Amino acid sequence: MLLVSYISENKQEVIQGLEKRYIENAAEIIEEVLNLDEDRRRFQKERDDALADANKSAKEIGMLMKSGKKEEAEKAKTSASENKQKAKDLSSKVSEIENELKDKLYHIPNVPHPSVPLGKTDEENVEMYKKGDIPTLPEGAKPHWDLIEQYDIIDFELGNKVSGAGFPFYKGKGARMQRALISFFLDEAVTAGYLEVQPPIVINEASGYGTGQLPDKEGQMYFMEADNLYMIPTAEVPITNMFRGDLLQENELPKKMAGHTPCFRREAGSWGAHVRGLNRLHQFDKVEIVEIQKPEDSADAHERMVKHVEMLLEKLGLPYRRLLLCSGDLSVNANLCFDLEVFSAAQDRWLEVSSISNFGNYQANRLKLRYRDNHKKTQLLHTLNGSALALPRVLAAILENNQTEKGILVPEVLQKYTGFDIID
């Protein structure tokens, strides 16, 4: 969430940033926040003054009693008692205001980076460049949902029987392709200097608030009411929360982690070709990269993370394009985000396979994730994350783009993991 001090010092910039996100009544929202903060500070001062008066009266009581001034001592007792009660009442008022202020801050999204273009929907995202050749498919080429039936490698009907729509079974060479992609992505991340971790796939409420899934995305996550736990929508959440509440030292930075998890999302659709087959699922596998960086290093880190994911796509032989997300398509947490999309030849469309985001100190403020620099100054860190990569649409593009009359060719970089070079 945004720092109140930042809002106060950059009021117009924040309002303009929220208006760029098409937030209605942005100016009124910011005024409410600043007024609450002013009330909080005023009541805090009154509480502190009351406590100081109570302590002063308490110290006078003994001296007055020794001097035989019982009447004045009783007045001092009464004053001390009244001020203690006043301080208690004011503490309750301060807590009430702090909770209201925090709730309002939780609902204010991050301010977009100046380079973010204005736009309401993903159709207004800006294509930065394309790389790779669009394959020419053989006559009678099929979309991946037909190919997986032809080669019996993924079973949606069986998944629907056991769990429901959006929970497929991967079988035989399909399962081995999944394992190969996961191993390839993880090995490349480790080579790039990321520490491999295997995090839990459920999180508590504090973790959801820490990375911004709560209170924004309750309806998109699977919730286990009996345990007050959520199934993770992405490994970003548990991995970033590893550092919740930490005070790191400058020589410990940066922190670079990579982890594979299944991901669970309730918002998967069920109608239209754009959500058919592997295009959108309730459960899917993903390798995530997460970085914790000093503020001055986060922009360079962001670009390196994008280049890392592009390298994965190039090694897989998939044509891709890089998009700069417009203001209306940014996530609540992000101030800058790039999407990478691969071209799925049989569907004749681009499929998003990765979002790489810089959150600035927005998440870190929620997480209370700070570092102490070499000058002993404490400040918030920056957090970044990206998909490296999400499997379903990558696999869909591999199946469609590499189909031949003899079968589906396996990308060379995966063959040492799969043990086969063709799906037939």
pLDDT digits (tens, 9 = 90+) for 195-220: 999 999 999 999 999 999 999 778 89
Q: What is the pLDDT of residue 142?
A: 97
Q: Which two tokens stand for residue 120?
A: 């309401």
402 is known to lie in a ligand binding site: no
Name the maximum alpha-carbon separation found in the chain. Answer: 109
Mean of the per-residue pLDDT values for the chain? 94
5 is known to lie in a ligand binding site: no
Asked if 354 contacts 388 with a C-beta cutoff of 8 angstroms, the reply is yes
Share of the chain above pLDDT 90, in %: 87
Residue 355's Cβ-side half-sphere holds a number of Cα atoms within 13 Å equal to: 17
- DSSP-derived secondary structure letter, 420: -
DSSP-derived 3-state class of residue 15 = helix
352 is known to lie in a ligand binding site: yes
Q: Which two tokens stand for residue 374?
A: 């070499």
78 is known to lie in a ligand binding site: no
Q: Which option is the CATH number for 4-106: 3.40.50.1370, 3.90.320.10, 3.40.220.10, 1.10.287.40?
A: 1.10.287.40
Asked if 203 contacts 94 with a C-beta cutoff of 8 angstroms, the reply is no
Q: Which two tokens stand for residue 152?
A: 């019996």
Q: How confident is the model at residue 332 (pLDDT cuts 50, 70, 90)?
A: very high
Q: What is the pLDDT of residue 270?
A: 47
Distances (CA, A) of 284 to 40, 100, 152, 167, 233: 45, 37, 19, 8, 10
218 is known to lie in a ligand binding site: no
Q: What is the pLDDT of residue 81?
A: 83
DSSP-derived 3-state class of residue 345 = coil
Query: So what CATH class is 122-423?
Result: alpha beta
Residue 217's Cβ-side half-sphere holds a number of Cα atoms within 13 Å equal to: 24
DSSP-derived 3-state class of residue 4 = helix
pLDDT over 90 (residue 68): no
Share of the chain above pLDDT 70, in %: 97
- CA-based end-to-end distance of the chain: 51
| Beta bridge partners of residue 350, listed in sequence order | 343
- Helix axis angle for 298-315 and 173-191, nearest 10°, is 140
* Cα–Cα distance measured from residue 390 to residue 397, given in angstroms and rounded to the nearest whole number: 12
108-119 average pLDDT score: 98
CA 358 from chain center: how many Å?
9
**Residue (of 341, 295, 334, 287) closest to 318 by Cα position:** 341
Q: What is the pLDDT of residue 83?
A: 86
266 is known to lie in a ligand binding site: yes
**Residue (of 74, 92, 70, 79) closest to 52 by Cα position:** 79
Q: What is the pLDDT of residue 273?
A: 58
250 is known to lie in a ligand binding site: no
288 is known to lie in a ligand binding site: yes
Q: Give residue limits of the domains in the chain.
A: 4-106, 122-423
125 is known to lie in a ligand binding site: no
33 is known to lie in a ligand binding site: no
